Amino acid sequence: MFTQVAAPEAAVGEPRKAHRRPPLAPYLYLLPAVALIGLWIYRPMVEGFGLSFYDWNLLPTSPKEWVGLENYADVVTNPEMIAAMRNTLVYIAAGFVAAVILPTIAVLLSRKVGTRSKSVYQGLIFVSFLIPPIAAGAVWRWMFAEDSGLLWTAANNAGLDLGNIFRDPSTAIWAIIAIMVWQMLGFGVLVVAAGVAGINPDYADAAATDGAGSWRTTMRITVPLLSPTLLFLGLMAILLSAQWSFPLIDLLTQGGPINSTTNIYYLLYQLGFQSFDAGLAAAAGVVFFLLFGLVAVGFVLLSEKLNFHDN
């Protein structure tokens, strides 16, 4: 999957043909980093793969029991797992809207705003992205709180009773999604704005000279030239939406009510650290890793194609 990514590597640095032996120095410089990702990322991944065939409760004193593919069978039949996967798709769709669609619309519609005021707005829009998850969870829990929450009272004054939004299985996920959108929007806006700023205005000017209207120019010139940026944000949204929603789920609903807000990562965490079912958690981890890996490969291939637009 990474052959294309590695290709530009080629002729970095000076050719050192005189050397018969490969130099030792780069290996020494790389040693700490390689050892660290080996120890803390690849080792646990391999161990987790091994663990997925065992039943184990995480206690060093209790034995691991070989169960073969039983954990994997559990992953695909467990109703909690299926609810978590469904919710994960909802979170991904929401992440896509928050990080790709809304920012693109906002940036394209605000191109006429002067550079200076734009950077002031963008500076403010980015703030929500930097707020620590713990603070975001706490303040939004209050915004939505019955009787005292700012948003709750505003809705109430408008005749809308939000009730206890995090306790209602039909609304809780939407509240979490709203908060996620709040956190991601600023990031999306800045990345799309940078993408638009990176497009050479000559293209649009040429199109305008040829008589293309501004809508036409936007759809035929700007958006296609922006596609690598949008693809990058889209991949982020798919791979990371489940991560972004994790702290919010943990702080606000713990996956409930009745599994209506849980996602695959939260379920993995609960399996491992609350039900102490390390084998099942590991099996689920392997399955999700493969699924997301496939998506990533798809995006890499797609970006290969789209990059030809560029330049």
Partner 1 sequence: MTFAFADPGVETPRLPSKPAFGLLDTPASSSPVVTPEPDPTDQHERASARPKRRFSPGKLAGHVILLALAVFSILPVYWMFAAALRAPGDVLDQSIIPWPISFETFADAWTRIGLGEMLLNTILLSAGIAAGQMLVALLAGYGFAMWRFPGRNVILMLFIGSWLIPFQVTMIPNYVLISDLGLLGTLWGVILPNLGAAFAVLLMRQHMESFPREIIDAAKVDGRSSWNTLWTVVVPNVTPAIAATTIMLFISAWNEYLWPALVLRTGAPVLQVGIRQFLSSEGNDWGALMAASAIAALPILLLYLFLQRYIVDAFVRSGLK
In angstroms, the first-to-last Cα distance of the chain is 24
- Closest contact distance (angstroms) between CB of 87 and partner 1 is 15
- Closest contact distance (angstroms) between CB of 163 and partner 1 is 16
Beta bridge partners of 54: 66
Q: Please tell me the distance from the alpha carbon of residue 231 to that of residue 99, in angstroms, as a whole number.
A: 11
Q: Please tell me the distance from the alpha carbon of residue 194 to that of residue 229, in angstroms, as a whole number.
A: 9
- Closest contact distance (angstroms) between CB of 92 and partner 1 is 14
DSSP state of 60: T
Cβ proximity to partner 1: between 58 and 93 the closer is 58
- Closest contact distance (angstroms) between CB of 150 and partner 1 is 6
Q: Please tell me the distance from the alpha carbon of residue 251 to that of residue 247, in angstroms, as a whole number.
A: 6
- Reference 248, options 166, 181, 186, 179; nearest CA is 179
Cβ proximity to partner 1: between 70 and 250 the closer is 250
Q: Please tell me the distance from the alpha carbon of residue 211 to that of residue 193, in angstroms, as a whole number.
A: 25
DSSP state of 14: -
Cβ proximity to partner 1: between 3 and 170 the closer is 3
- Reference 100, options 211, 188, 165; nearest CA is 188
Q: Say which residues have a Cβ less than 8 Å from residue 242's Cβ, sequence separation at least 6.
A: 88, 91, 92, 263, 264, 265
Answer yes or no: are the C-beta atoms of 51 and 278 closer than 8 Å: yes
Percent of the chain that is helix, strand, coil (3-state, to 5): 75, 0, 25
- Closest contact distance (angstroms) between CB of 33 and partner 1 is 4
- Closest contact distance (angstroms) between CB of 27 and partner 1 is 7
Cβ proximity to partner 1: between 85 and 193 the closer is 193
Cβ proximity to partner 1: between 53 and 246 the closer is 246
Q: Please tell me the distance from the alpha carbon of residue 101 to that of residue 286, in angstroms, as a whole number.
A: 30
Q: Please tell me the distance from the alpha carbon of residue 161 to that of residue 82, in angstroms, as a whole number.
A: 31
- Closest contact distance (angstroms) between CB of 168 and partner 1 is 17
Cβ proximity to partner 1: between 93 and 296 the closer is 296
- Closest contact distance (angstroms) between CB of 157 and partner 1 is 11
